[in-house]
């Protein structure tokens, strides 16, 4: 185990390299560019490919092409670029292309505040593409987790043949902390079809991704973003083909929720006050939890590491005892929709929203929200 002082962006890059990433395409954008700088420095000398694309549309599509050619590929961006990449993500979902996309969130919409942290892309990460679709979304809360979850993201991408979003933010990206790096990371290589008759776009068990035929090995694979049958042939008319395909693609993620859903719970089982959070805000929330408990409040913290798919059961169970639920987030209210949906009806849900200016949500604000007006 090596210990290093790394920014969140550097940690993402280190995680990617540890996971065997050998292709990176990106376009400069604050606050994610350092990921690209790191890969630009490391990949050429490690036998990988790095390319600075002409725009984010190109970057995500280059990553898709590289993935089909056998590479472990990734890109990193921020809000405006993430918006442009939605199109490519939709294609990657439809074609079951493994890739990792890191979105370092900044204050939006539009250009917003490029250097200031935010968490406003939660819903976009989940729902940004048109049509029915689902992809895993992981949210680190520190450089250490940025490292670990990037590795995790590659493993999920390969196993389920899906794009995976790592949702970081400017605080994590530019903050430097101590990161423990792993010696060796084993991620199983892609499963190829046994022979050309094994369908590359169909699976009897929706929880298991079909095998992926690499280009150039005589599989004569047909890849298309249009509706296709299990062998890749376009079928843009039939109800059965479309429904079967899209249902399987969503089920591939949804039915693996137990495997994909990571969360952290701290504090009292029978808490009266619960804090629900994700990402960098969790750091303040943890201190807030300690402050509440030291004042004799029975309190707990539920931190979502996986933001999608959502494990409703777990969240419902963890919020069962809470009369007051505080949801601090660096946006105007997004995670709170899940809480409203899953909390018991008589609970008091308090939002703590703050975004812009590079000002974090402080522990005292969370404590105040938890105690304010409590009976």
Partner 1 sequence: MSVAKHFSRKYLREEVLPTPFCPGCFNGVVMNAMFKAMEELGIEDLRNFVFVSGIGCSSWIPNPLIRADSLHTLHGRAVAVATGVKLANPRLNVVVIGGDGDLVAIGGNHLLHAARRNMDLLVVMVNNMVYAMTRGQLAPTTPLGFRTATTPYGNFEPPINVAKLLINTNANYVARWCVSNFHKLKQSFKEALSEVSKGFRFIEVVAPCITYVVRYEGKTPGQKIKELREACVEVKSISEIDDVERRGKIAVGVFKKELKPGYVELYESYASRAREASQK
Partner 2 sequence: MRSIAFLGRGGQGIVFAGEVIAETLFEQGLYVAQLQSYGAEVRGGSVLSYVVFDRDRVENPFIESFSLAIVLHEAGMRRWMKHLEGSDLVILDELVSAELRNAVKLPISRVCVEKGVLGRENVVAIGVIAASGVLDPSVVERVLSRKRGFEKNIEALKLGLELGRDVADRVAAVLRL
Query: Cβ distance 339 to 303 under 8 Å?
Result: no
Select the residue interacting with partner 1 from 111, 127, 233, 341 (CB under 8 A): 233
Q: How far apart, in whole angstroms, are the C-alpha atoms of residue 359 and residue 115?
A: 11
When asked if residue 114 is in the footprint of partner 2 (CB under 8 A), the reply is: yes
When asked if residue 178 is in the footprint of partner 1 (CB under 8 A), the reply is: no
How far lies 82's CA from each of 25, 56, 340, in Å?
A: 14, 8, 27
Q: How many CB atoms lie within 10 A of CB 375?
A: 5
What is the Cβ-side half-sphere exposure of residue 138, based on CA atoms within 13 angstroms? 28
Number of residues that bind partner 2 (CB under 8 A): 23
Please enumerate in sequence order all residues whose Cβ is within 8 A of that of 314, keeping only pairs 6 or more positions apart, or say none.
Answer: 261, 263
Give yes or no for a cis peptide into 309 (omega within 30° of 0): yes
Residues 118-177 that bind partner 2 (CB under 8 A): 171, 174-177
Q: How far apart, in whole angstroms, are the C-alpha atoms of residue 294 and residue 272?
A: 14
Site string for partner 1, 283-312 (x = CB under 8 A): ------------------------------
Residue 234 touches which of partner 2, partner 1, none (CB < 5 to 8 A by kind)? partner 1
Give least dist CB 253 to partner 2, A. Answer: 32
When asked if residue 115 is in the footprint of partner 2 (CB under 8 A), the reply is: yes
Q: How far apart, in whole angstroms, are the C-alpha atoms of residue 36 and residue 181?
A: 19
Query: Cβ distance 357 to 336 under 8 Å?
Result: no
When asked if residue 65 is in the footprint of partner 1 (CB under 8 A), the reply is: yes
Q: How far apart, in whole angstroms, are the C-alpha atoms of residue 109 and residue 111?
A: 6
Number of residues that bind partner 1 (CB under 8 A): 45
Residue 104 or 221 having the CB closest to partner 2: 104
199: which 2 tokens?
């369908």
Site string for partner 2, 10-49 (x = CB under 8 A): --------------------x-------------------
CA angle (267, 260, 177) in 5-degree steps: 60
Beta strand extents in 31-112 (DSSP E only): 49-52, 73-77, 99-107
Select the residue interacting with partner 2 from 49, 224, 229, 287 (CB under 8 A): 287
When asked if residue 330 is in the footprint of partner 2 (CB under 8 A), the reply is: no
Residues 166-185 that bind partner 2 (CB under 8 A): 171, 174-178
Select the residue interacting with partner 2 from 363, 367, 369, 370 (CB under 8 A): 363
Name the pairing type of β-strands 137-138 and 263-267.
unpaired
Select the residue interacting with partner 1 from 9, 30, 32, 67 (CB under 8 A): 67
When asked if residue 53 is in the footprint of partner 1 (CB under 8 A), the reply is: yes
53: which 2 tokens?
């694309």
Select the residue interacting with partner 1 from 12, 35, 36, 73 (CB under 8 A): 73
Select the residue interacting with partner 2 from 190, 191, 290, 320 (CB under 8 A): 290
Give least dist CB 237 to partner 2, A. Answer: 51
Select the residue interacting with partner 1 from 69, 178, 332, 359 (CB under 8 A): 69
Task: Classify residue 192 by its DSSP letter.
Answer: P
Query: Cβ distance 283 to 301 under 8 Å?
Result: no
Select the residue interacting with partner 1 from 27, 171, 219, 261 (CB under 8 A): 219
When asked if residue 232 is in the footprint of partner 1 (CB under 8 A), the reply is: yes
Residue 49 or 287 having the CB closest to partner 1: 49
Beta strand extents in 260-370 (DSSP E only): 263-267, 273-277, 299-304, 306-308, 324-329, 348-353
Give least dist CB 163 to partner 1, A. Answer: 14
**What is the contact surface with partner 1 in residues (CB under 8 A)?**
22-23, 25, 44-45, 47, 49, 51, 53-55, 57-59, 61-71, 73, 87-88, 91, 95, 215-226, 232-234
């Amino acid at each position: 185990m090596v210990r290093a002082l790394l920014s969140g962006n550097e940690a993402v890059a280190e995680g990617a390299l540890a996971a065997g990433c050998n292709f990176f395409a990106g376009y400069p954008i604050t606050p994610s560019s350092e990921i690209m700088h790191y890969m630009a420095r490391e990949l050429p000398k490690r036998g990988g490919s790095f390319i600075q694309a002409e725009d984010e549309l190109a970057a995500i599509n280059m990553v898709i092409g590289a993935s089909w050619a056998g590479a472990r590929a990734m890109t990193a961006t921020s809000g405006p670029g993430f918006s442009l990449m939605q199109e490519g993500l939709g294609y990657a979902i439809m074609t079951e292309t493994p890739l990792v996309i890191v979105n370092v969130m900044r204050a939006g919409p539009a250009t917003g505040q490029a250097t200031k942290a935010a968490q406003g892309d939660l819903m976009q990460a989940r729902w940004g593409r048109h049509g029915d679709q689902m992809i895993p979304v992981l949210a680190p809360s520190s450089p250490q987790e940025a490292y670990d979850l990037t590795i995790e993201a590659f493993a999920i991408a390969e196993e389920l043949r899906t794009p995976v979003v790592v949702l970081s933010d400017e605080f994590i990206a530019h903050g430097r902390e101590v990161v423990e790096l792993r010696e060796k990371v084993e991620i199983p290589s892609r499963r190829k079809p046994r022979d050309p008759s094994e369908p590359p776009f169909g699976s009897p068990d929706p929880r298991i991704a079909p095998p992926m035929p690499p280009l150039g090995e005589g599989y004569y694979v047909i890849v298309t973003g249009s509706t296709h049958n299990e062998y890749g042939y376009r079928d843009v008319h039939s109800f059965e083909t479309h429904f079967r395909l899209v249902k399987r693609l969503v089920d591939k993620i949804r039915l693996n929720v137990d495997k994909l859903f990571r969360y952290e719970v701290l504090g009292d089982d029978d808490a009266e006050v619960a804090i629900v959070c994700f990402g960098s805000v969790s750091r303040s929330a943890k201190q807030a939890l300690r402050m509440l408990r030291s004042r004799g409040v029975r309190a707990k913290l539920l931190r979502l590491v996986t933001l999608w798919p959502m494990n409703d059961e777990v969240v419902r169970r963890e919020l069962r005892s809470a009369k007051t639920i505080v949801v601090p987030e660096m946006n105007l209210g997004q995670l709170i929709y899940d809480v409203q949906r899953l909390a018991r009806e008589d609970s008091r849900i308090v939002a703590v929203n703050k975004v812009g200016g590079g000002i974090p949500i402080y522990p005292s604000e969370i404590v105040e929200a938890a105690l304010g007006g409590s009976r």
